[in-house]
Structure 1
Amino acid sequence: MQSTMETTERHTVRLSVEVGPEEFSRDLDRAYRKVAGEVKIPGFRKGKVPRQIIDARIGKEAVLDEFLRDSLPGYYLKALREHELSPIAEPEIDLEAFGAEGQPLRFTALVEVRPRVTLEPEQYRGLTVDTPDVEPPETDIDDYIDHLRERFAELEVVERPARPGDYVLADVRATRHDQEIPEATRVGYLAELGSAEIVPELDAELEGKRKGDIVKFNAVLPEAFGPELAGTEVTFQALLKEVKAKKLPEVNDEFARSASEFDTLEELR
C-alpha cells in the first residue's frame, strides 16, 4: 500500500491511497465470502454462492459495503500512521478505482486533523486527570491482536509445493463437451487453498503442485452453481502460476505502530 498527503486548508489534509492488486484481491475475496455466508438465494447453499451470482442477484454494491466496513478502515488507519496524523472527525472517503480485475484500489480521504499545540512545562505542571478504569479480558485483547495480524498479513511468493492455507494464483478453465463454462472459469484466480471456492477437487489437485504445473480432472459442479449447472460433470484444467504463503507480522512495537495509532505493543494492549 502506498499513500501521499497534501494540505488543502488549515487543519485539513487529503490522503491519496493506492492498494496493490494482490492485497486488494485478497480483502475483496474475504468480503465476497462474508456476503455469501449471509445471503439466502434459492438453489444455493449458504456460504457457497459464486461471485457471479452474488453480483447478478445481490449486486456488487453489497460486496462493496462489506469491503468498506471490513478492509477500508485498515487502509485508512495505516495511511494516517504513515503520515503521523491525528484526525478529529470522520473522513470524507472518495473511491476513485474499485472492482477492476487485477487493478489496484485507489481512494482519497479528506481528513480534518488535530492542530499541533506546543505547551511549556509550566503550563501543565500539576494538572491531574481522572480516567475510568476499564480493563478488557486478556482473551479479548488477544483475539483483537490476532485479527489485526490477519488484517495486516502479507502474501509472499514461495518456491515450494502448495499446501493448505497457502494462496494459489491460477488460470482455471472449465469445459463440457469442449464448450467453455464461464460460470466456473477463472483467469487470475487467487484463493486460499482449502477454501473450495469453485470445487473441492481443484484444491485437492493443486495441493502439492508447484508453479508451472498443470492439472486436469473431472468434477461435478455443486449446488452453489444453481439449478441449471448443479450436478453437471465438467472438465477442469488449471495452470498454477504462483504459490503464496501468508506471512503474519510479528507482534512487537513496530507492528503496533503500523497497525494502530499507538507507538508500542504495551500501549496497543
Structure 2
Amino acid sequence: MKTTVEKLSPTRVKLAISVTPDELGPSITHAYGHIAEQINVPGFRKGKVPPAIVDQRVGKAAVLEHAVNEGLDGFYREAVRESEVRPLGRPQADIVTWPNDKDFTGDLELAIEVDVRPEITVPEYEGIALTVEAAAIADDDVDAELDKLRSRFGTLVTVDRPATTGDFAQIDLVASIDGVEVDTANAISYELGSGELIEGIDEALDSLTAGESTTFTAPLLGGDHAGEQAEIAVTLTAVKERELPEADDDFAQIASEFDTIAELRESLKEQAAQQKTFSQGGEAREKLVDALLALVEIPVPAALVEDEVHRHLEGENRLEDEAHRAEVAEASEKTFRTQILLDHIVEQEKVQVSQDELTQYLIQGAAQYGMEPNEFIKILSENNQIGQMVGEVARNKALAIVLGKAKVTDTEGNAVDLTAFTAVPGDGEAGDSADEAVASDEAEVVEEAQAAADARCPPSPTPSRSPPRRSPPRLRRRSVRRPRRRPQLPPRRPRPRSSRREHDQEPPPIRRRAAPAVSGCSVRPGRTRTPPAPPPANTGGSAWRRPIDSPPKRQLKRSNTWPTWLCPTVFSTAS
C-alpha cells in the first residue's frame, strides 16, 4: 500500500492512499463470505453459497462496495502508521478511484483528510519561576477543621423559631408547570445555605416557621422537565438546628484514635497543613501550565474545539446560550493546547508509564465516581479507553517532571517543597509497560485494581473530575454512492477488532456508514473529560437536587505511598 501525505495546514493533512488488488483481496473474500451468510439460495446452506452464485444474485459491484466498506478502516490505520501522523479528530474519506467491478483489477484510490497534532517547539522549562500562596497554619484553621469534625457528630434538635442559614429544614415540595403538577417530594431534609437544592429555595425558606408555606419560580434540575421554569410550592414542616458536642477529651476518643483533644488538634493541624500543601501544589501546577502556554504558540483544529463545545452544551441542554458557549470554547481550546504541549513533553522526556501506575490511577478514578474499581475499569475497557488513560497518566507524569525542575516560592519569599508532587524521568520504566499491558491482557489490570481497591489517594481541597470521555466515533466517507443499481444487502457483520489503543498513537477508526455526532480525538479535553461516562454518586434523577461529585472518604490517619502526581484530583490535565 502506498501513502503520501499532503500538509493542508499546521493542524490538517490529506492522506492519498493507493490499495492494490492483492491488498484488497482479503476484504473481497470476507465480503463474499458475509453476503453468502445473508442470502437464501435454494440448494445451498447459508454461508456455503459459491462466489459465482453470489455474483449472480447481488452482482460483483455490490461485493466490491461491501469489501471497500469493510477494509476502509484498516487501510486508514495502516496509512497513519506508515506516515507517522498523529490524528486528533475524526477523518473524512473520499473514494477517488474504484477498482474494476468486473474482475476487481485496478487500484483503489482513497483521499482522507484528518486533523493532526501540530508540531511545536517545547519552551525551555528548566528553572522556571513560580509563586504560590503561603501555607502558614493559624489556630483559626485548626478550629475550622475541628468544627467540621464536630458537625459530623452533631445531633439535630427541633426548634420553634424561624428558619435561618445553617438550620436543617424538613420540607415538602410540589412543582407545577402551567397549573399542572409535574413532580413532588416529601419529607426532604435540607440544610439552608448549602446550595444543594433548586435555585431560590434558600430565599423561600428564610424566616419561615414550621407549618408555613410559600411559592417561588425556578428551573427544574432533573427529570422529564429539566430546565423548564416551574412554580414551586414549599411547605416547611420542621426546623432543626445542629448541636455540636463539646471539644473535650471524651469527644477526641469518640471521633478519633486519640485520647486527648490536644492530640486531636495536633493531628488536625497536620491535616490542615497537608491541605495547604495540596493547595500549593495545585496552584503551582496551574501557574506552570499558564507560563508554558504563554511561551509557545499552539494551533488547535477549530473543528475539534467546536465538536467539544457542542457536546458539552448539548449535555447541559444549553445549546442556545451564546455567552456560555464562548466560555466553554475558550476553556476547551486551552485544554487542547495544554494536552498537545504535554504530549510533546512526554516524548521529549521519554516518559514511561508502568502497569502499576496505570492501575493506581484507575483505582483513584473509580473512587471519585463512587464505583468499584473492577466496574469502572470494565466500562473503560468496553469503550476502548484504557489506552486513553495511559496517555492521561503520561501527561500527568510529564507535568510532574516539569514541576520538579521549577523554582517555587511562596508570597513571603520562602522556598516551597513540592517534592510529593513531582516525578523524575525514568520513573515507571522498571515495571511492565502500560502500553504492553493494555495490548496483552486488560483483565490483569482489573485483577490488580481489585486487589488494591482499599487504597485511597490523599484528598484535594476541591476535588473536581469530569466523567471520562467516550472513545472516538466511527467515521463515514464523504463520497456519494456510485450511480449503479444494486440490491439492498442485510447489515454486514462487523469483524473482530483489537481492543488496543496506544495513548495518542492509535488513529480514530474510520467507517463509511456511521454518522458520528461528536468529535473523537486521541487527546481528551479535561473540562469534559474525558474516560466511559460513569455517573457521579448523586441523588438520582431528582428534579430538585444539584448534581455533585462524591470525593473519596477522608480519614484522620492514613498511610499512602503512591506518588501524589498520580492523584486525578491534583494533577489532572483538566482545567
Measured against the shorter chain, the TM-score band is 0.3 to 0.5
Say which one has the larger Rg.
Answer: 2
TM-score (norm 1): 0.43
TM-score of the two chains, using structure 2 as the length reference:
0.22
Structure number with the higher helix fraction is: 2
**Larger strand proportion, structure 1 or 2?**
1
